[in-house]
Structure 1
Amino acid sequence: MKTTIRLIAATALVVSSFGAYAQKGETVKIAWIDPLSGLMAPVGSNQLKSFQFFAEKFSKTNPAGVKFEVIGIDNKLSPAESLNALKAAMDQGVRYITQGNGSSVAGALIEAVNRHNERNPGKEIIFLNHSAVDPDFTNSKCSYWHFRFDADTSMKMEAMTTFMKDQKDIKNVYLLNQNYSHGHQVVRYAKENFARKMPDVKIVGEDLHPLAQVRDFAPYIAKIKASGADTVITGNWGSDLALLIKAANEGGYNGKFYTYYTGVTGTPTALGQGGAGRVFQISYNHYNMGGDMGKWMAEFKQKFNDDFYTGSVISIYSALGEAMAKAKSTDPVKVAAALSGLTFKSYHGEVQMRKTDHQLQQPLWMTVWQKADKKFPYSPENTGMTLAPVKDFPSFVSSTPTSCQMKRPG
């Protein structure tokens, strides 16, 4: 009898242990769907390397004991191509996807994932959004299967204008943005925040231009100069920001730029030694954070001769590891439930994936372009310059409300 009891107890312990670590040693495939061709290819290439670099890092350290594998698929910055990429990923058994360059693409993927998961129970997919910042994705278009690890446009504009309202030299502002959902939202939230915080500041002009198609921004700079604007707000990224800055330098525009993406591939080189003290960026990380981030950035640069700047990659792996350990599974249904509302530690402290809308709540930093020095030594693209922090915003400052009415499984 005693022997039987011992055998039952031992069996129960083995079953319990297996349940607790059922995911240990599993390979979790993540399909990366973003541009590797066209004008935005340099940004996509950098971010694919970032995901692969940290897949190797977190495969060794995550609490779930899983291994991460990244499959890169070129979507040519096209929603249609992205849907083809999603199908190709699903055909390979991928249950996790990530994307971030272009909110028009993200919107198409969210709808496709929702349809797939509704029609194919047991084969659900999770969308890990690393950079697509349209606020609608965590408001009117929120989805249980979508998790955003960047700060959305409204959050960044909330922090940006909180900083700007104390800058007494800002009187006339020009809004120049890309003509798609993200650019439209930058304009909308800029106007709302100015009306609320800086009613005396005038918006003296605004333009929307095609995404990733303009090669010469000189005509736009001429309009900005003619308007008398002392400040430009732009959500432009990639070649659209790099070429805009290049045109401003060549055209002799000496006003300030308040941006979302100065640190992204190509823009530091376009700025060069110019723009010191005049170009600002609001973001959830910066080049001079030190600690683990500083070590990882140095290693990334040594390995790829490139700069790491997409900090959301780290948050994605940190959250996945924690959620899979909590769920004791890699099943997207169980992992999504664990991710929803999860509080975890990332490179910038304790952050939370807000349960209401699946928008990560995290601190933001305002930085300014200046010469690199002993205090802020990191020099992107070997320019001798850097983005130095001038103001930090705790999570509660930049957090914005949500109207999300999320439909949850079951």
Structure 2
Amino acid sequence: MTIPQQTTAEGAEPLLKVSGLVKHFPITKGVLRRQVGAVKAVDGLDFEVMPGETLGVVGESGCGKSTMGRLITRLLEPTGGKIEFEGRDITHLGTSAMRPRRRDVQMIFQDPYSSLNPRHTVGTIVSAPFRLQKVETEHGTKKAVQDLLELVGLSPEHYNRYPHEFSGGQRQRIGIARALALKPKLVVADEPVSALDVSIQAQVVNLLDDLQSELGLTYVIIAHDLSVIRHVSDRIAVMYLGKIVEIADRESLYGKPMHPYTTALMSAVPVPDPKRRTQRKRILLTGDVPSPISPPSGCRFHTRCWKATEVCRTVEPPLIALTPAAGHRVACHHPENAPDQAPGETSATAATGGKSVESA
């Protein structure tokens, strides 16, 4: 199966296009609830998702990944920017106008324990989309639900059981069945395996892969596990403090990462082979992630970056392509594996050492 890349040279139109997406959560104080600030969870995202591909989104906890997922599914109202689905602007559609689009955009939630109502049977949970959208099936809703359960690897006999009777992996399969009920075109999976045992994660990841091939799905998969993202994604976006700092196809990103933050993330991936483990250097970033309430000026990563210079403190780098590789874009003044965009600058962290390097 050939997955189309971000390049639209052949005339392919993106299924989802996000431009300048912003979400700020207000901070209020006092009896009058006066706004005194805002949490800048998502602060200007630009990306596209082509039909049939999988876009992986990675980053540290609190970088805005899950908020981004809820914005593109319109579970949250954006503060600014634009979201286009199949060429139509859905940024500020009301509840009634958005209802028909719910069939095409669905979400798989992170926690299979809290995303399923414990008082409802599996049949009631999975059939909810049919009821809400008033969709009539050829052989009845019960048969459609049982077919969905079988599709995700569960028994049709589970129809009358309750969520507490299932394991975590089985509950996540129920959530996947619910998301696929109306045959969506885009599925946003918010850390679909992070709450599961390692032994079960591979089964769920392989299930998502098989469903994509069988049903022609398009995925946006949010995760913090780089090995999971590498297995399932065609392209990968790296987020840091509400912004995308690098986006590229899988081979380019893992072969030649350009942003220092991406390089640090790659160095943290566990290596099971002791011999290979000693052959690489692990980058240990110093300091904590800055607060999204008042992010740093310029490049947001400069407070932890070992290559940061004065230009990094004052000028925000644009997300642009620095190499001929189509679709590989990075927001950095001093990228790795690419020409320096601000030559002659002296490192502002040379004296303190913005990182420590050790043999893993």
Normalised TM-score (structure 1):
0.31
Normalised TM-score (structure 2):
0.35
More helix by share: 1
